[in-house]
């Protein structure tokens, strides 16, 4: 007898519909899986057989053939287990087939018959909703993310016995609960930072406009604390952004079981030893990298020059386009990667160039070589470069609780974004303005225009640098709730751009 159960496979961060076809026929007992399965799929035989015996059901002593259609698409992972088990039972007439076509079935089986959560369920739910599907049958650990789509009837099961009960027409229990928002944003540490007014101002501009920022200074000046404060200044994700970001984390397996959509922008801080595949994505099966995991959030690269040059250069195209196109022999995959880059570095290899009390041990050639690890084209794509110097004030300020506040930076960021929306109906942060949108937003006063023209000629600014200066100027004006960009806003934006020019050897 032949049974068909809807399932799915992952291609990058997208789900593709797959039909699990199970044929149980007379013949020598064997179990064959066809349709380009990987080792994990082929090993499902042993998991399915043990799970069936544990719930007192029979694994048929017959010829069992499982076809994963379409047969020319590579199938990877363990989430076909539950669909295969139900197909074997239907093919051997132990359960009726009539309900098996109603839902997309996902889940990994343990040897005792339990149904374990799997990665990528949110991507499957989005694809099922797009195709007009009725619902999903998923493990309890994936119920919240599946229910986040809101257009599907989600049935969650704890074990194979509950799935069999559902197939026989009995409801195994309550439907999936509403999704739980999961936040991985760190607590706001901005109030703990003493001094560094320029850096704090730059961080506020970066948060208000979605701009990339690089902190340069000696060790221990608060560069990492400033970077980790950024996610707490950003507004919560919209529903569309939360679905996009959570889908990537679901595919990567980094969305904790039992949680639904991300509520806050994600924050990713890969180590300097990260490879290009780790940062951009890759491997077999293809997994999203740190850049995609930071989609609609913050990617923090600490000790920027210590990253591999090839890794840093690979960032240039995604920072402009907001996506990564991975081309492999089996095909191409598009991974979203619209991130806000935050980086930190020392001014030289020893870290003490310009320190007021400690001498730098680096020769000029070593300083140039160290700074040259960050290329000019990459610096050109960073909107704000900020010097974070040693604080020269009394050291007791570091432990006395007199600082307290973060100047309501979060409220000012929210007010600036609301001003941009009401004044220009902007749907993207200023860092994403292009073409006509940038032209209409960049309403310069005559004095501001002369200042920008003079600066572009004096420092030979590229077209990209001029546009990025305009975007930062627009954000500074939004923070001041000014419709027009005045000379003070352009001067402030140019001060951060000049820092990037001085970084070049």
Rounded to the nearest 10 degrees, the angle between the axes of helix 44-54 and helix 160-167 is 80
Task: Give the per-residue pLDDT at 178.
Answer: 53
Quickly state the pLDDT bin for 185 (edges 50, 70, 90).
very low
| Band (256; pLDDT cuts 50, 70, 90) | confident
Mean pLDDT of 323-334: 82
pLDDT in tens, 174-184: 555 555 555 54
| Residue ending a domain, choose from 133, 167, 201 | 167
9 and 143 together in one domain: yes
Q: What pLDDT is attached to residue 333?
A: 83
289 and 384 fall within a common domain: yes
331-358 pLDDT per residue, tens: 778 899 999 999 999 999 999 988 888 8
Residues 196 and 146 occupy one common structural domain: no
Instruction: Give Cα separations from 403 to 19, 195, 201, 411, 469 (angstroms).
Output: 61, 9, 16, 18, 32
Cα–Cα distance between 274 and 286 in angstroms, integer?
16
Q: What is the largest CA-CA distance in the chain?
A: 88
Average pLDDT over residues 436-444: 88
Looking from the CA of 293 toward its CB, the CA atoms found within 13 Å total 23
Same domain for 197 and 151, yes or no, is: no
The overall average pLDDT reported for the chain is: 88
Determine, yes or no, domain membership for 504.
no
Least confident of 19-28, 34-43, 193-202, 273-282: 193-202
Q: Is residue 250 domain-shared with residue 287, that is, in the same domain?
A: yes
Among 407, 422, 447, which residue terminates a domain?
A: 407
Is 386 among the domain residues? yes
Q: Where are the beta strands (DSSP E) in 276-415?
A: 281-282, 287-288, 298-301, 323-328, 331-336, 340-345, 384-387
Predicted confidence at residue 182, as pLDDT, reads: 52
Domain-embedded: residue 222: yes
Share of the chain above pLDDT 90, in %: 66
Residue 324 has pLDDT above 80, yes or no: yes
Neighbours of 467 (CB within 10 A): 14
Based on the fold, state whether residues 442 and 319 are members of the same structural domain. no
Residues 321 and 230 reside in one and the same domain: yes
Average pLDDT over residues 274-292: 89
Let me know if residue 185 belongs to a domain.
no
- pLDDT (0 to 100) of residue 220: 86
Residue 187, phi-psi category: left (phi > 0), alpha (psi -120 to 50), beta (remainder): beta
Could you give the CA distance from residue 197 to residue 274 in angstroms, rounded to a whole number?
32
Strands (E), 358-420: 384-387
- Using pLDDT thresholds of 50, 70 and 90, give the confidence band for residue 399: low
Q: Which domain holds residue 484?
A: 433-498
pLDDT-derived band at 398 (thresholds 50, 70, 90) equals low
Q: At 405, is the pLDDT very low, low, confident or very high (cuts 50, 70, 90)?
A: very low
CA distance 450 to 456: 10
Residue 485, phi then psi, degrees to nearest 5? -90, 120
Whether 58 and 130 map to the same domain: the answer is: yes
Classify residue 236 as exposed, middle or buried by CB count within 10 Å of its CB (0-12, 13-18, 19+). middle
User: Is the distance from CB of 485 to CB of 475 less than 8 angstroms?
Assistant: no
Which one of 114, 134, 167 terminates a domain? 167
Q: What is the DSSP string of 465-489?
A: HHHHHHHHHHHHHHHTT-SSB-HHH
> Residue 374 gets which letter from DSSP?
S
Query: Is 213 part of a structural domain of the chain?
Result: yes
For 279-304, what is the mean pLDDT? 91
Indicate if 203 and 346 belong to the same structural domain.
Answer: yes
Please give the average per-residue pLDDT across 53-71, as a whole number: 94
Q: What is the pLDDT of residue 120?
A: 93
Whether residues 317 and 444 share a domain: the answer is no
**Given pLDDT bands bounded at 50, 70 and 90, which one contains residue 404?**
very low
| Mean pLDDT confidence for 13-33 | 93
In this model, does residue 57 exceed pLDDT 90?
Answer: yes
Measured at the CA of 179, the angle between CA 174 and CA 181, to 5 degrees, comes to 155
Residue 505 lies in a domain: no
- Judgement on whether residues 232 and 367 belong to the same structural domain of the protein: yes
CA atoms of 342 and 230, how far apart (whole Å): 9
What's the 3-state SS for 97-157? CCCCCCEEECCEECCCCEEECCCCHHHHHHHHHHCCCCEEEEEHHHHHHHHCCCCCEEEEE
Q: For 20-31, what is the mean pLDDT? A: 93
CATH number at residue 326: 3.40.50.300
**In this structure, is residue 238 part of a structural domain?**
yes
CATH of the domain at 14: 3.30.230.10
- Give whichever of 51-65, 162-176, 380-394 has the largest mean pLDDT: 51-65
Q: β-pairing, 135-139 with 103-105?
A: parallel
Predicted confidence band at 286 (pLDDT cuts at 50, 70, 90)?
confident
CA distance 344 to 351: 12
d(CA 459, CA 411) in angstroms, rounded, equals 35
In this structure, is the dihedral angle defined by the CA atoms of residues 153, 154, 160 and 162, taken in order, positive or negative?
negative
* Alpha-carbon distance values, 60 to 48, 86, 112, 159 (Å): 11, 12, 18, 20
User: Counting Cβ atoms within 10 Å, is residue 436 exposed (0-12), middle (13-18) or buried (19+)?
Assistant: exposed
Q: How many domains is the chain partitioned into structurally?
A: 3
Q: At a CB cut-off of 8 Å and minimum separation 6, what does 30 contact?
A: 63, 64
Structure confidence at residue 215 (pLDDT): 96
Same domain, 153 and 287: no
Q: Is the pTM of this model over 0.85?
A: yes
What average pLDDT does range 255-277 have in this prediction? 89
Q: What is the pLDDT of residues 96-122, one digit of tens each?
A: 988 898 899 999 999 999 999 999 999
For the ranges 30-34, 459-463, 497-501, the lowest mean pLDDT is seen at 497-501
Establish if 459 belongs to a structural domain.
Answer: yes
């Amino acid at each position: 007898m032949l049974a068909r159960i809807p399932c799915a496979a992952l291609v990058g961060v997208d789900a593709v519909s797959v039909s699990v076809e199970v044929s149980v026929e007379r013949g020598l007992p064997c179990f064959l899986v066809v349709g380009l399965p990987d080792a994990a799929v082929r090993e499902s035989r042993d998991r399915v057989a043990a799970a069936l015996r544990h719930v007192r059901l029979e694994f048929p002593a017959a010829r069992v053939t499982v076809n994963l259609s379409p047969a020319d698409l590579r199938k990877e992972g363990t989430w076909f287990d539950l669909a295969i088990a139900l197909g074997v039972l239907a093919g051997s007439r132990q359960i009726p087939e009539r309900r098996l076509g109603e839902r997309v079935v996902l889940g990994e089986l343990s040897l005792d018959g339990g149904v374990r959560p799997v990665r990528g369920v949110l991507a499957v739910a989005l694809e099922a909703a797009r195709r007009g599907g009725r619902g999903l049958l998923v493990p309890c650990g994936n119920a919240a993310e599946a229910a986040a789509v809101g257009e599907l009837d989600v049935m969650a099961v704890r074990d194979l016995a509950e799935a069999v009960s559902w197939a026989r027409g009995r409801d195994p229990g309550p439907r999936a609960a509403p999704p739980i928002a999961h936040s991985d944003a760190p607590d706001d540490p901005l109030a703990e930072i003493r001094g560094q007014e320029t850096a704090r101002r730059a961080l506020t501009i970066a948060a208000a406009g979605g701009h990339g920022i690089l902190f340069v200074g000696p060790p221990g000046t608060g560069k990492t604390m400033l970077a980790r404060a950024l996610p707490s200044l950003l507004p919560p994700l919209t529903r569309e952004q939360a679905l996009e970001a959570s889908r990537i984390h679901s595919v990567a397996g980094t969305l904790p079981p039992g949680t639904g959509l991300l509520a806050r922008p994600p924050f990713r801080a890969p180590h300097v030893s990260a490879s290009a595949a780790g940062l951009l994505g890759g491997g077999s099966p293809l997994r999203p990298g740190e850049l995609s995991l930071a989609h609609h959030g913050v990617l923090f690269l600490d000790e920027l020059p210590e990253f591999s040059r090839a890794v840093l250069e690979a960032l240039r195209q995604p920072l402009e386009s907001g996506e990564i196109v991975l081309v492999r022999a089996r095909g191409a995959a598009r991974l979203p990667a619209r991130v806000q880059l935050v980086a930190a570095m020392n001014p030289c290899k020893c870290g003490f160039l310009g320190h007021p009390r400690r001498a730098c041990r680096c020769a000029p050639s070593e300083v140039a070589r160290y700074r040259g690890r960050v290329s000019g084209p990459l610096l050109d794509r960073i909107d704000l470069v900020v010097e974070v110097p040693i604080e020269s004030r009394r050291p007791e300020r570091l432990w006395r609780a007199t600082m307290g506040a973060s100047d309501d930076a979060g409220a000012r960021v929210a007010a600036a974004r609301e001003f941009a929306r009401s004044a220009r109906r902007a749907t993207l942060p200023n860092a994403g303005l292009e073409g006509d949108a940038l032209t209409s937003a960049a309403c310069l006063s005559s004095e501001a225009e002369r200042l920008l023209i003079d600066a572009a000629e004096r420092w030979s600014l590229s077209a990209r640098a001029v546009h990025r200066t305009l975007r930062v100027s627009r954000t500074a004006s939004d923070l001041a709730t000014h419709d027009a960009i005045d000379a003070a806003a352009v001067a402030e934006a140019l001060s951060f751009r000049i820092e990037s020019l001085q970084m070049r050897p």
